[in-house]
Amino acid sequence: MARFQVRKLTPAFGAEIEGLDPSRLDAEDCRSLRQVFDDRNVLLFRDLDLDRTAQFRLAEIVMGKESPSDEEAAAGAAQQDGFWISNKEPGAAAPFGRLMFHSDMMWSDDPFQILSLYGVDVEQPAVPTVFASTIHAWDTLPDSLRTRIDGLQAVHVTGPEGFDSRRRGSDDGRLVQPIRDVVLSSTASVGHHHPRTGRTMLYVSQGMTKEITGLSHEESENLLEDLFKHLYSPANLWQHEWRNGDLIIWDNLAVQHARSDVSTDGPARTLRKVATPVPVAAEKTNVASYQPIG
């Protein structure tokens, strides 16, 4: 028996893990955590006190690594020393603005697999992070839409510049995009297989999918609009209200993330970010700055 409790966050996906001490995991705990993760795709832990190395180690365990050594965990964490999502921390990613739904590096052939954020300095009211399940969206896709996407592929790009303004919705917060030194793209099936679990995902996103191939711009936007309506419908979403000591580990492909407008003048919102395994492709596209668009 694993020594923790599992509480579903929504009927569709997500689980809060209660009563777990990450520094004292036995083999059965690790196996159970992996099972819950592959089934629910998002794990929430509250009131944890852990450093970057412990955060990296826990995510590695969740991904399936048997027992990372102290040296491996410390090295993996050290390579990501500057990874922060913050409106206060100098040099942090996404320091302000609104982010549309996306999977990190969806535009790459080697996107991040697992992401985690830990609440280091969170003042209230903190802007929540919203998650959307691509797997539940696929499983519940209406037949009429399933027929329309049969055999189609989509192109994903590094930023939303030039996207149809309909994508931005009615939220008037400032959209932000990273300005990169190169623009990259990748193409994948709209019904895309998850590399680790083999589950099928509805693999398009508001923030990174440029177009569906083989369709006119208008047809592509209309189809994407219909897919987004389903993917981002309330039954596919979960919103997390941040507190200090919260840790969320999520599957970056099975679940997309977004947030509304964050201000640099607002309450502190500093989250420690760790990607697992250590990303390689990220080095190809340095982010020079973040700028509002629209």
* Site residues (vs Fe ion, CB under 5 A): 104
Residue 253 Cβ, how far from Fe ion at the closest point, in Å?
Answer: 12
Q: Distance between CA atoms of 262 and 76, rounded to whole angstroms?
A: 29
Q: Name the minimum Å distance from CB 274 to Fe ion.
A: 13
- The alpha-helical segments, DSSP class H, found in the chain are 27-40, 52-63, 70-78, 134-139, 143-149, 217-231
Using CB positions, name the residue nearest to Fe ion: 104
Compute the least distance from the CB of residue 55 to Fe ion, in Å: 17
Contact 158, 185 (CB under 8 A): yes
Radius of gyration of the chain (CA): 18
Nearer to Fe ion, 52 or 257 (CB): 257
Structure tokens given for 286: 């340095």
Dist. CA 58–CA 279, nearest whole Å: 16
Q: Does residue 178 have a cis peptide bond before it, meaning omega lies within 30 degrees of 0?
A: no
Q: Which lies closer to Fe ion via its Cβ, residue 29 or residue 104? A: 104
Q: Is 7 helix (H, G, I), strand (E, B) or coil?
A: strand
Residue 105 CB, nearest distance to Fe ion (Å)?
Answer: 9
Give strand pairing partners of 277.
none
What residues have CB less than 8 Å from 106, skipping those under 6 apart?
156, 186, 205, 208, 209, 253
Nearer to Fe ion (CB atom), residue 29 or residue 251 = 251
Nearest-approach distance from CB 193 to Fe ion, in angstroms = 22
Question: Considering beta carbons, is residue 178 or 277 the nearer one to Fe ion?
Answer: 178
Q: Which is nearer to Fe ion, 104 or 246 (CB)?
A: 104
Of the pair 27, 280, the CB lying nearest Fe ion is at: 280
CB of 49 to Fe ion, least distance (A): 25
